[in-house]
Amino acid sequence: MVTLERRTPFLTLNQALFADAAITGAAGLLSLAGARWLDSFLDLPTALLAGSGAIMIAYATALVMLGTRQRIPATGVRTVIGVNLGWAVACAFLLFSFWTDPNALGVAFILVQIVAVLAFAKLQAMALRASR
C-alpha cells in the first residue's frame, strides 16, 4: 500500500500574502517616489512608473488587509493569484508593445516584476492548496 506524505508549504498563506505585500509595497514606493529618477535610468515614462507605483501601493494595502483576516477566504486568494498573473501578462505586453522603449535596465526592471509576481502566484497557490 502506498501512502502519500502531505508536505508543509514553504510559506503559510498569511506569510505568502505578507511577503507579496512587502515586496510590492517597496517596489510601489520606489516607483512612485522615484519615478523621475527611475525614468532617467530605465527609459520608462515617469507617468507609467508613478501610476504603476500607486497601483502597487494600493494592492499591497489590500494584501495586508486580506492577510490579517482571521479566516482568509479562498476566493480572495484566488483573486490575488489572478491579479499577479494579470500583472505578469501586462508587463510582458509592455515589453513587446511599441508604447515604451526601455533600455536594458528598464527591460530588466520589468522582467524582475514578471518573475516576482509569478513566484508569488505560485507560492500563494501552494499555500492555498496546503491550507485546505
pLDDT at 54: 98
pLDDT average per 10 residues of sequence, the chain (132 residues): 47 93 98 96 97 98 96 96 98 93 96 97 94 79
| 9 to 14, 29, 52, 80, 122: CA distances (angstroms) | 12, 29, 30, 18, 11
pLDDT at residue 111, as a whole number: 98
pLDDT of res. 46:
97
What are the sequence ranges of the domains in the chain?
Answer: 13-131
pTM (2 decimals)?
A: 0.88
Alpha helical stretches, state H, 5-132:
13-33, 35-42, 46-67, 74-96, 104-131
Query: By the 8 A CB rule, do 91 and 100 touch?
Result: no
Under a CB-based contact definition with an 8 Å cutoff, are residues 21 and 66 in contact? Answer: no
Q: What is the pLDDT of residue 9?
A: 60
